Amino acid sequence: MKYEFKPSGNKDFDKIIYQFDKQIKREYPLSKGNIKECPSFWQKTLFLETFNLDINDWRQIRVGDYWKRLSELEGIEKNKFIINKVRRLSLL
């Protein structure tokens, strides 16, 4: 894993990212060297993708079968689903 943490200047934000990175580093060997199999990788991605969303953005994301589909998923798949919905919103 060649990722290296670079501080942003915001202490609170940096603490959170640092904690995610520590957890990813612990999970990395357990996922056989595949970072996309680390649950914390997807949690960090979700955090970064949703950091600046407001309530109106979430209202647009949570339409249609969002809740039904979300209840059918678990773990990494749930995070991937939310990330995809957020990314679709940003394309609008």
Note whether residue 5 is domain-resident.
no
Q: Does residue 1 carry a pLDDT above 60?
A: no
pTM of this structure: 0.83
Note whether residue 21 is domain-resident.
yes
Catalogue the long-range contacts made by 72-75 (C-beta closer than 8 Å, 24 or more residues apart): 75/39
Show the domain range for 66. Answer: 11-91
Note whether residue 6 is domain-resident.
no
Note whether residue 49 is domain-resident.
yes
pLDDT tens figures, 37-68: 999 999 999 999 998 899 999 999 999 999 99
Domains identified in the chain, total number? 1
pLDDT of 91 reads 74
CB-CB contact of 51 with 14 (8 Å): no
Note whether residue 46 is domain-resident.
yes
Note whether residue 1 is domain-resident.
no
Note whether residue 2 is domain-resident.
no
